[in-house]
Structure 1
Amino acid sequence: MLDITTQLTTNPKQKPAPDELGFGHYFTDHMFILDYTEGIGWHDGRIVPYQPISLDPSAMIFHYGQSVFEGLKAYVTVDNEVLLFRPDQNFKRLNNSNDRLCIPKIDEEYALEALKQLVSIDREWVPNAPGTSLYIRPFIIATEANLGVHPSNRYQFIIIMSPSGSYYKEGINPVKIMVEQQFVRAVRGGTGAAKTGGNYASALKGQEIASKEGYAQTLWLDGKENCYVEEVGSMNIFFKIDGKVITPALNGSILPGITRDSMIQVLKSKNIPVEERRISIEEVVEAHNNGTLEEVFGTGTAAVISPVGELKYLNDKLIINKGEIGEVSQMLYDTLTGIQNGSIEDTFGWTIRL
């Protein structure tokens, strides 16, 4: 196991008020850095004051996009302890992304230990107001100074952290979503199942169009037939139709969300029927028209759950559950956030107390 050295800041930042947090605007006093050099491996793990990083203009991350990242959270419990939610799954998925992007895999146990130490050092940055959390962003970038098209021989693995409030200004209230018809987010065989920056860059145009029309996010369809539902914005998507919850099956172009998996397990524990399968946008429209589309919601680390109150498809606006949050959506949100903040017993073994 690699060592971790620590250099504490001599100039602590002023912490923002809970009502000023938003998402991803503020950053804690410290960060973790681990270097990779071909022939040596991962080395020199260190916790240092949060600071800019210096890269050569020819660093390969700038030119060929070799990068992966993760997102997870730390929470303050009702008894003032700090909980991490399924961090082992984040580092497992990070290594799956590494494999797809030809990045050397990290030691998952070492990464988790580094994360624990970093959170412990910046413990006072974990907000405790309702709906707040410490968002954690581990990422890896290619740092070799070289314009040749090949996997880099140098990388940096970095963890930064940000005290955050609600991801959407709407909070847990239903949002409006527009079905994208022109652009696609990812295709099978591409990088859709990896958490890499290029997937998000390709989604920005659809998001821009949706925002101009007053919609919070884009619902992405598959890149081959342009009819099967895949993801919504940066979240996985669920539909409750005639008492059954349906989510698109993982097919190589859909990110295997950890919150998605958690929701499926909670649904099964509550004996609510849940299916992972292909679902077309026409099936969703038909269910709406015949009155069986009962709820729609997105799931992800940042928002946890985001109910959908309206879907715009072509020229039609589909109002879902009268634009109100549904019973299952509310139950899932309450259950997952309850486990995350320690107010509900974690019978799944998902949380780690620091």
Structure 2
Amino acid sequence: MKYNFPVIKTTHPKEKPDPDTLRFGQIFTDHMFMMEYSPEQGWHNGRIQPYAPLQLDPAAAVFHYAQEMFEGLKAYKSKDGRVLLFRPDMNARRTTNTNERMCIPHIDEELFVEAIKAVVGVDREWIPSKKGTSLYVRPFIIADEPFLGVRPADHFLFMIILSPVGPYYEGGLAPTKIYVENEFVRATPGGTGAAKIGGNYAASLKSQEKAHESGYEQVLWLDGVERKYVEEIGTSNAFFKIGDEVVTAPLTGTILPGITRDSVINLLKQWGMKVSERRMTIDEVFEAGKSGKLVEMFATGTAAVISPVGELSWKGEKVTINNGEIGELSQKLYDELYGLQIGEVEDKLGWTVEV
């Protein structure tokens, strides 16, 4: 192994949670990864240590100018006891792109993956094995240099924390109801829409609150210029099956290049299906819904994998999709991807990485 990280084991191990009552992102494991950056030493002092609160200066740049980034992936335990990561190289590549946009120092992509493997290996006993559960892996980088002034920081922390999780949506694969946002926008060309940063999510909270108040689980964002082209669903990429064509928004800099999105596109092409990465108006979606051509709609993302959509609401109009039930394609994609992730479907593409 090119990288070797010292391990400081906790002296106060926590009680592991009941896998039957796991929710998403509320419990954390015994250990975390920590590494520092300075201009003089670059990235250095990588180690695994007990999970604990951070001590940061109140003037740390992350608090005042939001210079930070994060990633998300999962570790799964197969029936034969192997621990598997799903396409961590894609998370490393996306980290490189986000860091470039956010003026965060480049981190070697191999180091990024090896750090994940190392900390997951230490806390592998925290990975639940019940169907639908996993160990969520959250790598993130923050600017911890104390100063008040708008410039890129010189000192950063790279950390990885782990959380045993159940399904992202409590209903599991039950179709969700989506509210189409036409007041606020998530991203515009030239902005940070393609970067994995907290600011994108903070800006979405108001719309999500509106959606919840109206009885909807998530928000479908429209483009920030003309307010008519469909883009993302909250924390996920959006797919529409219209007739025999599966459509998703193109990567033009305003949506996140999802790893599950890329995996779905690859699988659909392998299955001989027509897949289009093109701009599509919300009018086209609703017209397809009313005429019965909108066969299925689903969201893709690390947290939920595949999340079918049963209803859309836009400007007081509603359209029901597939009678509010999970579609055949959504189920097939979920079964294939989840099967790959837990090692029950043969990995012919080399997407899984054993810890």
Aligned-residue offset at 1:2:
5.4
In the alignment, is the contact (CA less than 8 A) between 2:3 and 2:114 conserved in 1? no
For residues 146-295 of structure 1, the aligned pairs below 5 Å read 146-295=147-296
Indicate the residue corresponding to 2:44 in structure 1: 43
Distance 1:173 1:243 in 2: 23
Distance 1:27 1:2 in 2: 25
Distance 1:124 1:4 in 2: 19
Structure 1 counterpart of 2:222, which letter? L
Indicate the residue corresponding to 2:125 in structure 1: 124
In the alignment, is the contact (CA less than 8 A) between 2:285 and 2:294 conserved in 1? yes
Matched, 1:72 2:108: no
Distance 2:3 2:59 in 1: 29
SS of equivalent residue, structure 2 residue 353: strand
SS of equivalent residue, structure 1 residue 348: coil
Q: Deviations over 1:134-157 (max 9, x none)?
A: 000000000110001000000000
> Which stretch of the first structure deviates more once superposed, 109-118 or 89-98?
109-118
SS of equivalent residue, structure 1 residue 310: strand
Distance 1:269 1:335 in 2: 12
Distance 1:272 1:102 in 2: 39
Distance 2:333 2:140 in 1: 28
Mark the runs of 5 or more structure 2 residues left unpaired by the alignment: none
CA RMSD in angstroms, aligned pairs only:
0.8
**TM-score of the aligned structures, taking structure 1 as reference length:** 0.99
Q: Deviations over 1:277-296 (max 9, x none)?
A: 00110010111111100000
Aligned sequence identity (%): 58
In the alignment, is the contact (CA less than 8 A) between 1:287 and 1:293 conserved in 2? yes
Matched, 1:318 2:329: no
SS of equivalent residue, structure 1 residue 287: helix
In the alignment, is the contact (CA less than 8 A) between 1:229 and 1:248 conserved in 2? yes
Distance 1:93 1:217 in 2: 24
SS of equivalent residue, structure 1 residue 6: coil
SS of equivalent residue, structure 1 residue 89: helix
Distance 2:272 2:77 in 1: 30
Aligned-residue offset at 1:39:
2.2
Matched, 1:13 2:14: yes
In the alignment, is the contact (CA less than 8 A) between 2:181 and 2:207 conserved in 1? yes
SS of equivalent residue, structure 2 residue 121: helix
- Structure 1 segments, 4+ long, off by >3 Å, are none
Aligned-residue offset at 1:117:
1.3
Structure 2 counterpart of 1:214, which letter? G
Distance 1:36 1:3 in 2: 17
Distance 2:113 2:33 in 1: 11
Q: Deviations over 1:14-35 (max 9, x none)?
A: 0110122110010010000010
Indicate the residue corresponding to 1:134 in structure 2: 135
Aligned-residue offset at 1:200:
0.2
SS of equivalent residue, structure 1 residue 325: coil
Matched, 1:113 2:102: no
Aligned-residue offset at 1:336:
0.2
Q: Deviations over 1:190-247 (max 9, x none)?
A: 0000000000000000000000111000000000000000100110000000111000
Distance 1:240 1:302 in 2: 22
Aligned-residue offset at 1:3:
4.2
In the alignment, is the contact (CA less than 8 A) between 1:177 and 1:310 conserved in 2? yes
Distance 2:141 2:118 in 1: 19
**TM-score of the aligned structures, taking structure 2 as reference length:** 0.99
SS of equivalent residue, structure 2 residue 206: helix
Distance 2:123 2:291 in 1: 52
Distance 1:113 1:336 in 2: 23
In the alignment, is the contact (CA less than 8 A) between 1:2 and 1:45 conserved in 2? no
